[in-house]
Amino acid sequence: MTSIKQYLLSSIGKKVVMACTGLFLCVFLLEHIYGNILLYAGDDGSAFNEYSHSASHNIIIRIVEFALFGSIIAHVLQAIIITRDNAKARPVKYAVPTSHAGSSWFARNMGITGSIIFFFIVIHLYNFFLPYRIGTLPENTTLAMITKAAFQNPIYVGIYCVGVTFLFFHLLHAFKSAFHTLGMNNKKYTPLWNIIGTGFAWLMWIGFISFPVLFYFNLAGNNIPSI
């Protein structure tokens, strides 16, 4: 038990926790975008509402939700700890940061992009998760109707688009970095992870940003009643 604790507290252990929780969150993104796609079913939001209702009453999914929230917290805390440890290890910055040559600003500032994404997640949960899972929806109001109303609010649409765009840049680096941390990088597989990671980031960005854009310009969701 002590050896496990020592490993998790070590530099590589912290990075492995970051990688594993990050990959788990990527799996959640796939599940989340699948649920959102049901908004395009062309009905009154019934498919999306039924999916959301089933998810909230499924014991397995509820357990996964606790794992999800735990992963988010662990991912954020590990990011803070690793950033702090790196700062302590190099208290004086180089006059010429040659170690970052060729890397993008987003790759060098994962902590900043991660913080913006976390802020977006908090807003997102406040607008959708809390009213539906913990609170009570107004009479004759469905989650699809609330979603439609949110995506017709220019302020929330702007916040959503910014959050999803930062998620895109975060994923571009984080996905392949996770496999690197887990020791799955070599001349044979590294190009594959790069392709999969880039494709995944683009898929998530195009998929998620389509909802606020299409709903805001009335190109989708017209069959869903308005509040």
Q: What is the pLDDT of residues 176-209, one digit of tens each?
A: 888 878 887 777 778 888 899 999 999 999 999 9
Lowest mean pLDDT among 28-42, 63-77, 139-153, 186-200: 63-77
Alpha-carbon distance 72 to 24, whole Å? Answer: 9
Highest mean pLDDT among 27-36, 89-98, 108-117, 187-196: 27-36
Average pLDDT over every residue of 93-122: 69
**What pLDDT is attached to residue 106?**
64
Give the domain ranges of the chain.
7-91+103-216
State percent of the chain over pLDDT 70.
Answer: 90
Q: Kindly tell me the sign of the dihedral angle through the C-alpha atoms of 155, 160, 163, 168.
A: negative
- Its pTM stands at 0.82
**What pLDDT is attached to residue 164?**
96
CATH of 7-91+103-216, one of 1.10.510.10, 3.90.1150.10, 1.20.1300.10, 1.10.3720.10: 1.20.1300.10
**What pLDDT is attached to residue 102?**
52
Alpha-carbon distance 26 to 18, whole Å? Answer: 12
74 exposure class (CB count in 10 Å sphere: 0-12, 13-18, 19+): middle
Confidence of residue 138 (pLDDT cuts 50, 70, 90): confident
Q: What sections of 90-220 are H helices per DSSP?
A: 105-108, 110-124, 143-150, 154-181, 190-216
**What pLDDT is attached to residue 202?**
96
Alpha-carbon distance 38 to 43, whole Å? Answer: 9
**What pLDDT is attached to residue 94?**
43
Q: Is the CB of residue 14 less than 8 Å from the CB of residue 81? A: yes
Q: Is the CB of residue 70 less than 8 Å from the CB of residue 61? A: no
Report DSSP state, residue 98.
G
**What pLDDT is attached to residue 206?**
97
Q: Is the CB of residue 93 less than 8 Å from the CB of residue 150? A: no
CA nearest 48: which of 203, 191, 221?
221
- The tokens describing 33, both together, are 């975008």
Lowest mean pLDDT among 47-51, 102-106, 175-179, 205-209: 102-106
Tokens 């038990």, residue located? 1
Highest mean pLDDT among 64-68, 167-171, 188-192: 167-171
**What pLDDT is attached to residue 128?**
86
Confidence of residue 223 (pLDDT cuts 50, 70, 90): very high
DSSP 62-92: HHHHHHHHHHHHHHHHHHHHHHHHHHHH--S
Confidence of residue 38 (pLDDT cuts 50, 70, 90): very high
Alpha-carbon distance 218 to 43, whole Å? Answer: 15
109 or 49, which is more confident?
49
Q: Is the pLDDT of residue 122 over 80?
A: yes
Confidence of residue 14 (pLDDT cuts 50, 70, 90): confident
Tokens 């950033």, residue located? 83
Q: How many CA atoms lie within 13 A of 58 on its CB side?
A: 10
